[in-house]
C-alpha cells in the first residue's frame, strides 16, 4: 500500500508539471467571466488544443490515434497536476473520455482518422445522444427511429434529452432503433450525427435553478450517410455498453470532480461560532464528511484495480450515490445554519440545493443504480422482466395488459 | 370522542378550495421567480371572510378557532397560494384579544396585519427571541430591526412581540421586502427604530400562544402541500412505464410514496391535536402545535424530494411543478424558528413534564 | 371535532367506572410476580370471567352470543377506564378480539354455542395458527396439509410458527391446505384445533432477548372431526381475511398498547442534565416523540371512522410502522445517553432493544405492509405475480424456473 | 499510488482467517450469553504472532504497522472472535514507543496488556477524558476508577492515559469484569486507587495517537463484521422465496443489501486511509481514524438491523446468528467514546482546518 509515485511516475509527473509551469499563462481562467461565455468557450477549445500538443489530453488513447498510449495512473497524474496548477482541463471530457474510446473500439479506420484528431484538439466538440424522454433508466427502450433508404443512407427521427454540450457540439454519437420488430436490445444501431445537419434542433433544458445545464435535441428527417454507422447495424447496444463502461471509469477516477468536498462544506459552518459548537450540527457535518472523505480513497482503489488490469464494475455507481446524498445533507445543513440567506439566488448554496435533485437522477436514477449493483455485484436475482424476447413494437400493448 | 368535521367546517374547506381554484397559483409561483406578479388573492380572501376568521363576531369577525383557520391554510398550501394569511391571522388573533380599536378593519381585511412573532422561553432559555439576520444564534426580542417577518410587505398593522413577551402595535414602520427561493412567500425586514409603538393589552401567555398558533398554521399549510405532492407522485407512478412496467409497481417507488402517505397521515393527526388543544386545552397547545410543525415540516421536506425523484430527471426541470413545492419546503423549513426549533420544543416540553 | 363524551357515552363510562371501583380489589396485578407465572395465569382467567360478567368483555360482540352488542366507542371507553383503573384487561385479546368475531361471522350455530361462551369468560384461551416458516408474508402459501378421510374426518400435518399464547391455549384457529391442485388462495380451509389433541406439540420460540414470546406448533397426524371446519371447505382464505380485518381493528384502536409512549422515553433523558441540554439529543427525542404523539390522534381518527360506519383499511398498518421505528429510534437514543448500562440484561431498555427487531417483522414485514398500503390505499399497480392461477403443487418448480 | 496489499499482508490475512476458522466462535458467542465459556484464542493468537504485531522487531515484535493490525482485527470481526487484541495491540504500541522493559513478554503474548485510553482534547474541549460510569457527560482522565475498559479482565499490564495525556504503566490493579449485551466483548471497571503507577516515557501526541489507533482498530473490526452480515443477507435473499420469487429479486430487499454494500465499501476505503495515515501521515491520522470509525460504526449498526429484517421473523430468534452480530453492534457503538464521538471529531478536525 503506497500512495507515492514510483520513480517512473515521479519522472512523468515532473515532465507534466514542467509543461504546465511553462504554459500556465496561456490558460484561460477556471470559470467564464460574466457575459464573456462565447469568447471563453473559444479560449477553452484553444487550451484543449495546447494540452493535446503537450500530451496532456488523450493520455490513455493509443499512440496511433494521436494519444499517449499511457495508463490510467498517468491520466490521474495529469488530472492531479492540472488541478494543482489551478488551470482548466480539457473542454470535451465527454468526447475524449467516453465517445472517442468508443470510436476507437468500434469505429472504422475512416471514422478514426476523420474524427479523433479534431476531437482530441478541441476543434470539434462531441455530445452523447443516448437518453430519451421515454428511455432514461431503460436505455434500450430508445424510440428514435432510423430508417434505411434505398441508396444506403438513413433518415432519422426522434428526440433526445439530458444532452450536455449539445449547444456547441459539432458531432453527436447517437443511439437509434433500426429494427422495431426484434427484442429491444437487438434492433439498435449507433450513428455519428453532424449537429449542423438539417433537421437537428437543439433546445436548452432549464433545471430547478433556472439555468439550462442540459439540452433537448430534436431530430426531424435528419439524413445520414451510410458511413455514419458505428460498430455495425444492429450492434448499437454493444457499442453503447462500451461508452457506458468508459463513463463509469471517468466517474470512478474523478469522484471529487463535482467539487463536493468536505472542507468546502465545512467553511460556512466554521464561520458561525454558535453552529460550530452545536452537537447536532457537528454530528451531521462529521457523518457526511466521513462519507465524502471515503470517496477519495475509493478512487485510489479504483486506480489500483486498473493498474491490476481490472475494469471497475457498476459498484462505482455507489460512489455517485454517496456523493449526491452527502452533498444534499451538507447543503441542507448549511442552509439550516445560515438561514434564508443561503437560499438567496446569488448564493452558491442555493445553486447547489437546486442542482442536486437533478443530479440524483442524472446518469441513472438511484433506484436503477441500486438494482444494477444488486444484480451485477451481489448476484441477486433480477426483477421479473416482462419485456424479455418481445418485439419492441409490441411492448406497449404488453405493458397495458400485465398491469390491467 | 369524534374528530369528524362539522358541516360548517366541511363547507369552509370546500369554499376555500373553490375560491383558490379560480386562480393559476402554481403557474404564477413559477413566473414570480422571474419577476412576474402574483395574483392578488386578498380581495377573494376578504369576500370569503378569511381575514376575520379568528376575530370575535361582535367585532366583525367569524369568531372561529385555530382549527378552522388551519383548514383554510391547508387549502392554501395545496396550491401554493400567495395569500398573506399566516401573518394576518396570527396578528388578528392577538389584536382581538387585546381589544385593539381598529380590529374591525382587520377582520374585514380592509387593513392587513402581520406579526413580528417571538419565540417564547423554553425549558433551557428564559428569554424571548427573534429570527437572526443570519446564522444560527437567535437574537433577543425587542431590537430595532426584525428580520424575515412573514407577510410584512404591504401590512398596514404590525403586531410586535418584544422583550418579556410584551406586545405592541406598530403602524407605518418601513419594510424591506425580500425574496428567498420561494416567490410565493411574502417576507420582509422591518425597521422598528423610528416607529411609534402602542402597547397592546395582552398577557405574555397570549404572546406565547401567538407563536404556537403560527406554528400550527404553517404546519397546516405544509400538510396541504404534502397532499398535492402525493397526488402528483401517485398519478405519475401509474402512467410512467419503464422496463415494461408502470414505475409505481416497483417497490422502490411504491414504498417511497407510501412513506409520503405515512408522514401525511401523522401530520393530519397532529393537526387535529393542535386544533383541539388550541381550542380546548391550552396547556397542551405548545407541544401539540410544535409536534404538528415538526412532523409536517420534515414531511414536506421529504415529500418534495421524493416527488422529484419519483419523476426522474423531468421532475427537476424548470417547467415541472414539483420544484416549486420543493422551493416552498426549503424556505418554510427555515422560517419562524425553523422546523428544528419545533422539534426542540417538543423535547423541551416532554422533558419538563417528566422531570 | 369533540374529544368529550356525549351524555350517553358519559353515562356508560360512569357505569363502567363504577363497576371497576367495586371490583378493583378482585383484580390481579398488572404483571406476574417473579416465579408465580402459573398462579398468575389462573388469576387472569378468573379476572376475564369477572369482566365478562360485568359486561366489560366482548363489548362489541352481539347480545345473542353473550356480548354487549355495543359499538367501538364503548369498547374504547372500556379500554380507557380499565387502564385508568390500573387493572389488567382480558387475558385472551386474540380470541375475544379476532378469533371470536371470525367464528361469529363464519361459524355454525353449534360452533358458536360450544366455543364462544368459554372463550369470552377466559375458561378456554385461543391462539391463531396461521403463519408458517415458509408462509409468513405470503400467508396464502401455507403448506400445512389437511387430508379428508373416508369417514369425513380430517388428518392434519404441518408446522405453524409465531403463535402467541399457544402454550396455554385450549383451542387454535388453524389455516390449512385441503386442495393443492388449485391456485393457492383457493385450496385453503379453516379448522378449529383442540390444542390437547394427540399429535399437537407446542415449543417455545426464543427471541433475541432469550425469552420465548412466541411458540412453534407442530402437527403430526392430528385427527379432526368433520365439524372442525369453520366457514366451509375451500373458503379458508375468505375466513382468514375476516380475522385479519379484526386484527387491524385491534391494532388501530390501541396503538399505544405496547407502552411505547413519548413520556416513557423522555424520562431517562430528563434524568441526565448533560443529555437534556444537548441539541442532538433533543432533536432526536423531539422528532420521534412527535410521531408517537401523532398516533394517539390517529387512533381517535380510526374511532371516528368506525362511528361513521367505516372499517379502517390497511392504512392502520402505517401506525405500526411508525410505532416500531420511533421506538427503535428512542431506545437507540436512550442507550446513547445512558451508555452500556442501558444494555444490561436487567434493563427495560435492553429488553426493548432486543424485542423491537422482531416486532418489526411481526404481523407482516414492513416491506409487505408498504406494498399492501401502496396497492390498496394509493391504488398503485401490484408487483407482477408469477404465482397467479398456478396450482399450488406446481409453484416451487415455477419459482426455480423464472429465477434461473 | 497503489493500495494493493503486499504479499505479506495477503498472507497475514489468510493466516488469520485460517486460524480463527478452527474455532466455533459464533456458536460460542451465543452460549456465552447464558454463562458458557468462550474458547481461549490467546494461545492461537500468540502462535500467529499477533500480540507483537506493533512491537519493534528488535524487541521481539513483528515491527508491523496499524494497517497490518487492522487486517487481523477485520478477520476477528468477521467471526465475532473473543480475542483481546483491541486493548492489547493499542497498549503494546505505546509500551514499545515508551521503551517499556517488559515489552518482549507483551510482544510474545506471555503477558497480556490493555489500555485505559483517554479521549484527547478537541477543538472545543482542551481536557483529556475517560468513559463515564453512566450518562452522557465524560469524566476527566486520571481518576481512581476507570469504567468500561476494553480487554481489561485478565490483563497483566495496564497502560493508563491520565491527565494531560500523561501515560503510566500499572500492574495488579483490581478489575471488575462486566458483561453488557455482547458476551464476546471483554470489558471491565478498573480500580486504580491503590495501584502503583510507573511513568511511561511517551509524549501526549503518542497518547493521542493511541486513542486514534484504538478507533482505527475497532473500525476495522466493525468492517469485518459488516462483511459477514452482507454475505449472510445475500445468501438468504437468494434462497428464500415469497409470492413466487426469491426475496432478493424485490427492490425493497435488494436495495437494502446494496446499502450495506455501499457503507461497507466506504468503510473499506477509510480503513486504507486510516492505515496509510497511521503509517505515513500523522497529521491526518486523527481525522482518518475517526472517519473510519464513524462510517464503520454506523454501517455496522445499519447492517445488523438490515440483516435481521431481510431474514424476517426468523432473523430475530435466539437460534439465529444475526442477533449476535446485532449485539456486537449495539455495544461497540457505545464504547471508546462511542461512534458519535468519532463523527464529532471528524467535524472538529475539519472546522479547525478551514478556520
Q: What is the pLDDT of residues C189-244, one digit of tens each?
A: 999 999 999 999 999 999 999 999 899 999 999 999 999 999 999 999 999 999 98
- Report the chain D residue with the minimal C-alpha distance to residue B254: D252
> Nearest CA to CA, how far is D251 from chain B (Å)?
6
Q: Which of D265, D276, D344 sits opposite A298 (nearest CB)?
A: D265
Residues of C noted as catalytic: 247
Please report residues of C whose CB lies closer than 8 A to that of B2.
1-2, 303-304, 307
Residue B197 three-state SS = strand
Give the per-residue pLDDT at A35: 86
Q: What is the mean pLDDT of chain B?
A: 97
- Chain B residues with CB under 8 Å of a chain A CB are 33-34, 131-132, 134-137, 148, 178, 180-181, 187, 241-246, 249-250, 252-253, 305, 308-309, 312-319, 323, 326-327, 330-331, 333-335, 338, 340
Q: Which of A337, A343, A358 sits opposite B135 (nearest CB)?
A: A337
Touching subunits for chain B (3+ Cβ pairs under 8 A): A, C, D
> D232-247 b/e with 16+ CB inside 10 Å = b?
bbbebbbebbbbbbbb
Query: What is d(CA A222, CA A200) in angstroms, rounded to the nearest whole number?
Result: 7
State mean pLDDT over A283-312: 91
Instruction: State the best of B136, B243, B247, B251 to mutate against chain D, taking most chain D CBs within 10 Å.
Output: B251
Contacts of D126 (CB under 8 A, 6+ apart): none
Give the per-residue pLDDT at C399: 63
User: Which of these ranges, A330-344, B264-278, C70-84, D5-19, has the smallest mean pLDDT?
Assistant: C70-84
Please report residues of A whose CB lies closer than 8 A to that of B326.
208, 357
Phi, psi of D216 (to 5 degrees): -65, -40
Own/partner contacts of B141-148, CB < 8 Å, gap of 24 or more, are: B141/B165, B142/B166, B143/B192, B144/B191, B144/B192, B144/B193, B145/B189, B145/B190, B145/B191, B145/B192, B145/B193, B146/B116, B146/B189, B146/B190, B146/B192, B147/B189, B148/A339, B148/A340, B148/B178, B148/B187, B148/B189, B148/B335
Would you tell me which residues 170-209 of chain C have a C-beta closer than 8 angstroms to some C-beta of chain A?
A: none
Would you tell me which residues 336-375 of chain A have a C-beta closer than 8 angstroms to some C-beta of chain D?
A: 367, 370-371, 373-375
- Is the four-CA dihedral D122, D126, D129, D132 of positive or negative sign? negative
Asked if pLDDT for residue C367 goes beyond 70, the answer is: yes
Touching subunits for chain D (3+ Cβ pairs under 8 A): A, B, C
Q: Alpha carbon of B341 to those of B164, B187, C11, C266: distances in Å? A: 19, 19, 43, 18
How many residue pairs bridge chain C and chain D with CB atoms within 8 Å of each other? Answer: 131
Q: Which of C5, C300, C374 sits opposite B3 (nearest CB)?
A: C300
Query: What is d(CA D230, CA D233) in angstroms, rounded to the nearest whole number?
Result: 5
Query: What is d(CA B270, CA C10) in angstroms, rounded to the nearest whole number?
Result: 25
State mean pLDDT over D15-22: 98
Active site annotation includes A247? yes
Please report residues of C whose CB lies closer than 8 A to that of D132.
339
Contacts of B319 (CB under 8 A, 6+ apart): A206, B30
Query: Is the separation of the CB atoms in C81 and C20 below 8 Å?
Result: yes
Q: Which stretches of chain D are DSSP H helices?
A: 7-21, 25-32, 42-48, 66-78, 85-97, 103-108, 204-239, 251-280, 285-310, 322-332, 338-354
Q: How many Cα atoms occupy the beta-carbon half-sphere of B96 within 13 Å?
A: 26
Give the per-residue pLDDT at C402: 55
Contact assignment for C269 to B272 by CB distance below 8 Å: no
The pLDDT-based confidence of A56 (bands split at 50, 70, 90) is: very high
Rounded to two decimals, the pTM is: 0.95
Give the per-residue pLDDT at A404: 46
State mean pLDDT over A252-256: 58
Q: Alpha carbon of B187 to those of B155, B196, C196: distances in Å? A: 11, 22, 73
Q: What is the mean pLDDT of chain D?
A: 97
Contact assignment for B250 to D251 by CB distance below 8 Å: yes
Question: Cα A8 to the chain's mean position, in Å?
Answer: 30
Q: Please check whether residue B251 touches D, CB under 8 A.
A: yes
What the block records as the C-alpha cell of A175 is 443511439
> C126-161 b/e with 16+ CB inside 10 Å = b?
bbbbbbbeebbbbbbbbbbbbeeeeeeebbbbbbbb
Asked if pLDDT for residue C5 goes beyond 80, the answer is: yes
Residue D117 three-state SS = coil
Q: What is the mean pLDDT of chain A?
A: 92
Give the per-residue pLDDT at C157: 98
> What would the pLDDT profile of A174-229 be if each residue is shown by its tens digit?
999 999 999 989 999 999 999 999 999 999 999 999 999 899 999 999 999 999 99
> What would the pLDDT profile of D124-167 be if each residue is shown by its tens digit?
999 999 999 999 999 999 999 999 999 999 999 999 999 999 99
Question: Cα D78 to the chain's mean position, in Å?
Answer: 12
Q: Please check whether residue D24 touches B, CB under 8 A.
A: no
Please report residues of C whose CB lies closer than 8 A to that of B226.
none
Torsion of CA A47, A50, A52, A54, to 10 degrees: -140
Active-site residue (options: A81, A124, A132, A247): A247
Query: What is d(CA D3, CA D272) in angstroms, rounded to the nearest whole number?
Result: 7
User: Which of these ranges, C31-40, C60-69, C339-348, D67-76, has the smallest mean pLDDT?
Assistant: C31-40
What the block records as the C-alpha cell of D256 is 437494502
Asked if pLDDT for residue A399 goes beyond 70, the answer is: no
- Report the chain B residue with the minimal C-alpha distance to residue D255: B252
Contacts of C241 (CB under 8 A, 6+ apart): none
> What would the pLDDT profile of D198-223 be if each residue is shown by its tens digit?
999 999 999 999 999 999 999 999 99
Among candidate residues D110, D94, D223, D226, the one with its CA nearest the CA of residue D167: D94
The pLDDT-based confidence of D30 (bands split at 50, 70, 90) is: very high
Contact assignment for D250 to B251 by CB distance below 8 Å: yes
State mean pLDDT over B238-267: 95
The pLDDT-based confidence of B323 (bands split at 50, 70, 90) is: very high
Give the per-residue pLDDT at A257: 59
> Nearest CA to CA, how far is B34 from chain A (Å)?
9
Q: Alpha carbon of D33 to those of C146, C358, D185: distances in Å? A: 40, 19, 11
Q: Please check whether residue A161 touches D, CB under 8 A.
A: no
> What would the pLDDT profile of B182-219 be if each residue is shown by its tens digit?
999 999 999 999 889 999 999 999 999 999 999 999 99
Q: Please check whether residue A57 touches B, CB under 8 A.
A: no
DSSP letters spanning A28-79:
PPSS--TT-HHHHHHHHHHHHHHHHHTT-SSTTS-GGGTS----HHHHHHHH
Among candidate residues C209, C205, C348, the one with its CA nearest the CA of residue D34: C209
Give the per-residue pLDDT at C357: 95
The pLDDT-based confidence of A401 (bands split at 50, 70, 90) is: low
Query: What is d(CA C338, CA C270) in angstroms, rounded to the nearest whole number?
Result: 11
User: What percentage of chain C carries pLDDT values higher than 70?
Assistant: 96
State mean pLDDT over C264-287: 97
The pLDDT-based confidence of C143 (bands split at 50, 70, 90) is: very high
Q: Alpha carbon of A229 to those of A181, B27, C268, D265: distances in Å? A: 20, 44, 71, 40
State mean pLDDT over B305-317: 96
> What would the pLDDT profile of C14-30 be if each residue is shown by its tens digit?
999 999 999 999 999 98
- CB neighbourhood size of D184 (10 A): 23
Contact assignment for B252 to D250 by CB distance below 8 Å: no
The neighbouring-strand residues paired with A57 are none
Asked if pLDDT for residue A403 goes beyond 60, the answer is: no
Query: Is the separation of the CB atoms in C296 and C327 below 8 Å?
Result: no
Amino acid at each position: 500500500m503506497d500512495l507515492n509515485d514510483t520513480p517512473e511516475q515521479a519522472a512523468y509527473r515532473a515532465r507534466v508539471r514542467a509543461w504546465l509551469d511553462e504554459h500556465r499563462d496561456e490558460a484561460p481562467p477556471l470559470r467564464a467571466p460574466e457575459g464573456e461565455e462565447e469568447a471563453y468557450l473559444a479560449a477553452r477549445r484553444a487550451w484543449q488544443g495546447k494540452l493535446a500538443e503537450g500530451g496532456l489530453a488523450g493520455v490513455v488513447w493509443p499512440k496511433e490515434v494521436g494519444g499517449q498510449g499511457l495508463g490510467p495512473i498517468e491520466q490521474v497524474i495529469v488530472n492531479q497536476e492540472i488541478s494543482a496548477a489551478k488551470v482548466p482541463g480539457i473542454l470535451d471530457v465527454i468526447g475524449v473520455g467516453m465517445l472517442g474510446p468508443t470510436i476507437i473500439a468500434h469505429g472504422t479506420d475512416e471514422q478514426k482518422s476523420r474524427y479523433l484528431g479534431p476531437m482530441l484538439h478541441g476543434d470539434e466538440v462531441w455530445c452523447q445522444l443516448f437518453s430519451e424522454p421515454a428511455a432514461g433508466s431503460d436505455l434500450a427502450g430508445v424510440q428514435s427511429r432510423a430508417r434505411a433508404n434505398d441508396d444506403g443512407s438513413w433518415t432519422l427521427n426522434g428526440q433526445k434529452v439530458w444532452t450536455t454540450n449539445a449547444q456547441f457540439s459539432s458531432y453527436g454519437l447517437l443511439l437509434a432503433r433500426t429494427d422495431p420488430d426484434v427484442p429491444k436490445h437487438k434492433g439498435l444501431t449507433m450513428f455519428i450525427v453532424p449537429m449542423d445537419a438539417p433537421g437537428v434542433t437543439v433546445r436548452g433544458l432549464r433545471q430547478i435553478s433556472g439555468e439550462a445545464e442540459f439540452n433537448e435535441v430534436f431530430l426531424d428527417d435528419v439524413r445520414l450517410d451510410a458511413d455514419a454507422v458505428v460498430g455495425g447495424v444492429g450492434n448499437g447496444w454493444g457499442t453503447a455498453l462500451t461508452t457506458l463502461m468508459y463513463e463509469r471509469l471517468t466517474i470512478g477516477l474523478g469522484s471529487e470532480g463535482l467539487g463536493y468536498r468536505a472542507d468546502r462544506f465545512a467553511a460556512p459552518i466554521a464561520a458561525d461560532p454558535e453552529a460550530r459548537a452545536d452537537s447536532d450540527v457537528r454530528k451531521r457535518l462529521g457523518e457526511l464528511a466521513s462519507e465524502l472523505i471515503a470517496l477519495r480513497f475509493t478512487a485510489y482503489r479504483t486506480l489500483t484495480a486498473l493498474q491490476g488490469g481490472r475494469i471497475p464494475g457498476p459498484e462505482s455507481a455507489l460512489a455517485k450515490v454517496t456523493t449526491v446524498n452527502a452533498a444534499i445533507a451538507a447543503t441542507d445543513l448549511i442552509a439550516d445554519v445560515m438561514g434564508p440567506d443561503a437560499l438567496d439566488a446569488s448564493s452558491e448554496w442555493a445553486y447547489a440545493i437546486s442542482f442536486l435533485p437533478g443530479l440524483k437522477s442524472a446518469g441513472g436514477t438511484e433506484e436503477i443504480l441500486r438494482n444494477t449493483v444488486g444484480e451485477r455485484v451481489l448476484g441477486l436475482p433480477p426483477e421479473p422482466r416482462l419485456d424479455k424476447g418481445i418485439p419492441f413494437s409490441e411492448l406497449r400493448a404488453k405493458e397495458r395488459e400485465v398491469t390491467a | 370522542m369524534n374528530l369528524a368535521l362539522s358541516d360548517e367546517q366541511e363547507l369552509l374547506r370546500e369554499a376555500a378550495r373553490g375560491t383558490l381554484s379560480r386562480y393559476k397559483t402554481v403557474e404564477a409561483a413559477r413566473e414570480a421567480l422571474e419577476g412576474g406578479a402574483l395574483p392578488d388573492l386578498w380581495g377573494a380572501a376578504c369576500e370569503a371572510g378569511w381575514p376575520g376568521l379568528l376575530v370575535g363576531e361582535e367585532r366583525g369577525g367569524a369568531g372561529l378557532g385555530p382549527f378552522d383557520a388551519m383548514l383554510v391554510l391547508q387549502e392554501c398550501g395545496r396550491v401554493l397560494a400567495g395569500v398573506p394569511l399566516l401573518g394576518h391571522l396570527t396578528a388578528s388573533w392577538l389584536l382581538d384579544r387585546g381589544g385593539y380599536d381598529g380590529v374591525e378593519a382587520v377582520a374585514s381585511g380592509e387593513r392587513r396585519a402581520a406579526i413580528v412573532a417571538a419565540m417564547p422561553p423554553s425549558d433551557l432559555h428564559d428569554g424571548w427571541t427573534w429570527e437572526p439576520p443570519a446564522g444560527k444564534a437567535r437574537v433577543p426580542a425587542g431590537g430595532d430591526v426584525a428580520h424575515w417577518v412573514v407577510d410584512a410587505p404591504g401590512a398596514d398593522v404590525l403586531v410586535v412581540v418584544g422583550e418579556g413577551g410584551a406586545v405592541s402595535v406598530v403602524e407605518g414602520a418601513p419594510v424591506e421586502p425580500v425574496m428567498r427561493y420561494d416567490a410565493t412567500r411574502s417576507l420582509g425586514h422591518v425597521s422598528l427604530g423610528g416607529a411609534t409603538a402602542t402597547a397592546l393589552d395582552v398577557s405574555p401567555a397570549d404572546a406565547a400562544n401567538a407563536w404556537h398558533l403560527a406554528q400550527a398554521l404553517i404546519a397546516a399549510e405544509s400538510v396541504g402541500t404534502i397532499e398535492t405532492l402525493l397526488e402528483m407522485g401517485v398519478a405519475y407512478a401509474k402512467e410512467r412505464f419503464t422496463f415494461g412496467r408502470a414505475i409505481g409497481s416497483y417497490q422502490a417507488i411504491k414504498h417511497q410514496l407510501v412513506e409520503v402517505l405515512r408522514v401525511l397521515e401523522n401530520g393530519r393527526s397532529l393537526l387535529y391535536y393542535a386544533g383541539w388543544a388550541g381550542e380546548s386545552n391550552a396547556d397542551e397547545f405548545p407541544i401539540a402545535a410544535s409536534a404538528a410543525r415538526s412532523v409536517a415540516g420534515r414531511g414536506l421536506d421529504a415529500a418534495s424530494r421524493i416527488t422529484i425523484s419519483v419523476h426522474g430527471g423531468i421532475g427537476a426541470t424548470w417547467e415541472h411543478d414539483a420544484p416549486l413545492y420543493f422551493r416552498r419546503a426549503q424556505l418554510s423549513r427555515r422560517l419562524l424558528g425553523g422546523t428544528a426549533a419545533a422539534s426542540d420544543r417538543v423535547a423541551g416540553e416532554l422533558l419538563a413534564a417528566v422531570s
